[in-house]
Structure 1
């Protein structure tokens, strides 16, 4: 029986186990969900990999209190390369339960897809690891190391702090970071570029307290109007991000993102126009992009005829490889301060930052991956960027500078990760399981 047939035979077990894992409410935020849920998920992962020959698999506590599942499994050939398998078992909160068409923590099948929080991000990738190894069975041709973390979605950095202090535990020749996905169902891809990010909270102060808009409006500065005016300078009429000191003309050289596919993936209204004067790929992966995440101001319901004395906004600036977070942060702060109108006072708090990442793609691991994806999908591998940040990749690159880092997974655009009605296409789990199994076989025989 070949690998594809073995994986096909394993898919009922994949569904059963993914349903078990999705039912565990492993949101790594004790304000919303009990921490026992994450411990339950960690134990589930530990047990499953223990059954697959990871005899030393165990739970390691990281700096933020989360538990990482770590372990190793050796093959008979002492000269074989070592591959580190990564995923995470924690998930985003479901957000608005009423927006879900099925219970968020219950795997539900509809129109050929499996719905539930974490089905794609990232519990589906855990099942792809397990399925690839089950398909290989005793024919494992490389040494394996494993790390499955429990706080990736909260961004609290537990594993990022753990890696440098436990380098020998995780050291590998190739690292499979299985937390991204393909260009579309059936279109294989590796993610080779990640945006970095800078989050700031900007507060505008204009008055010491609310005052009557009829008595003082027209002469007294309005903090909310000042904030709106400031935010309006962060994009031009075409939608390009316009922050003084940041270039917004770079172009993307990898796989293009067809505009009509992007419109469908993003759920644009028929009347809505795409932003910017570059291609979709340029705007997503090669240029800075500013998003207003939230605004604190009086709500419409219950608002009074008064001038707002203060207002604030939370801003997210995504930055492409080649731009340092400190440079982007300074440019954003200086821009906001310089355009604050009417002498209003501006406070700016740095909330978070993360560096962008670009993978090296000219080594034996990428050659093996390209061949594995061709075998599994019958078409060449594309190279994609991703707008999200995975700070761990930079830590891995710094700690293991000779390792090849590969980002792949089951999270194609229809998966709606981080949103209500997250889902996974089971054919992607099957295909990516085959990719991983074939990669391990091919990488073992690839000249470095």
Structure 2
């Protein structure tokens, strides 16, 4: 049966690619109010694709104003078969400066072994992966399929809790497949079993009621920039380890991440040294990490000889899977209050938070997935992979459906460049992903 399904995916591939390219041409940027109509058109296109395969499909919203359109669809399998919920999202990130792209971001373009365009991988290829598995079986599904394609994941899934609460009975499943992650490498599949959480905090320090002459008062009154810089530095030791008391960490999967690959994939400048201590994958996946992602202060160009009275920075804290956002936020705020220097006035504003995820990837569903991936990659077993980034909605699925087995899969690879210019889908790997999900559904039906 594996050979027959492999042949079926190969047969369907040209049509699936056309469907993907049609979706990519829709500028479904959920963060841009001017393109709300495009997001709606994208949801309608997804609905129609699954309706054509015999699903009962409709567009729903988690908000009364009808924004953030999502798609829910269902197709029955044999009586007594498991129910599998397939998740993806049809909204995409802004394309930003077109000059940074080697081809138009909204016109899917094949170069080499990749298909380039915004959403080719994240996550319209995930949508079409679910379509491929359904199309491969036609009316002989081995399981009952429920589709949930969200329309605001790239904005933080604000309405997702409302959607899960409103449609909980319709979305209830034995297994949930979330196609929004990636694989370990070209030729090496993966199941994502941990993701870090996120706490973002805007921090301001004030040392003066107004700007004053640096020559007259420098050396006595601290300026806000040096004060904030010192506060940021207090969060790290000389090796770059975080020294914020109360943050938690945990071990990571035993995966080798070669130095040469780290250099190539990270974009590190020549000669840069890594920060922190411990195994590389722990530093990337299961230890907390603090980055400063924004800084408000006068520009160098045109700066005057004055002491700056106030400065502000955005602290982006990735929390370990063993931690909670509430604990991490409390620990970070306590550290800042304790270490703000020279009596400066400190104020903080929470931007947003998201929970980390740790999946106990054992049991029949995970066995079925590992067998499917190993077949699709012709003998290469999947890696249990962590992700340093955050997908907070996975924790929401785990909370909403605690009895379900949650499998986090995806189409991305280390050079996908999701969210950036020249986002691209590796076409040969995508074909393996299509087959893997099809074999997974077969395996789940047999069990």
Residue of 25, 28, 39 corresponding to 1:26: 28
Structure 1 position 411, deviation (Å): 1.2
The secondary structure found in structure 2 opposite 1:17 is: helix
Name the structure 1 match of 2:69: 67
Name the structure 2 match of 1:16: 18
Distance 1:272 1:10 in 2: 46
Distance 1:156 1:204 in 2: 31
Listed as ranges, the matches of 1:227-242 within 5 Å are 227-242=228-243
Listed as ranges, the matches of 1:18-417 within 5 Å are 18-31=20-33, 33-54=34-55, 56-63=56-63, 65-75=67-77, 77-247=78-248, 250-377=250-377, 378-417=379-418
Structure 1 position 254, deviation (Å): 4.0
Question: Does the 8 Å contact 2:248/2:320 carry over to 1?
Answer: no
RMSD between superposed Cα atoms in Å? 1.5
TM-score of the superposed pair, with normalisation by structure 2: 0.96
Distance 2:433 2:161 in 1: 26
Question: Does the 8 Å contact 1:68/1:159 carry over to 2?
Answer: no
Distance 1:180 1:403 in 2: 19
Question: Does the 8 Å contact 1:115/1:421 carry over to 2?
Answer: yes
Structure 1 position 300, deviation (Å): 1.4
Number of residue pairs matched by the alignment: 442
Q: Which contiguous aligned blocks of 4+ residues in structure 1 show a shift greater than 6 angstroms? A: none
- Listed one character per residue, the Cα deviations across residues 242-296 of structure 1 (whole Å, up to 9, x for unaligned) are 2122246x43134333332222111222311222211221101111000111001
- Listed one character per residue, the Cα deviations across residues 384-433 of structure 1 (whole Å, up to 9, x for unaligned) are 11122222211211121110000001011110111111111011221111
Structure 1 position 383, deviation (Å): 0.3
Structure 1 position 101, deviation (Å): 1.6
Distance 1:399 1:218 in 2: 57
Listed as ranges, the matches of 1:415-430 within 5 Å are 415-430=416-431
Distance 1:160 1:177 in 2: 16
Structure 1 position 200, deviation (Å): 0.3
The secondary structure found in structure 2 opposite 1:147 is: strand
Structure 1 position 371, deviation (Å): 0.4
Distance 2:59 2:121 in 1: 23
- Listed one character per residue, the Cα deviations across residues 59-113 of structure 1 (whole Å, up to 9, x for unaligned) are 00113821110010001x2110000000000111123332222211111111211
TM-score of the superposed pair, with normalisation by structure 1: 0.95
Question: Does the 8 Å contact 1:360/1:405 carry over to 2?
Answer: no
Alignment of 1:3 onto 2:25: no
- Greater shift in the superposed pair: 293-302 or 434-443: 293-302
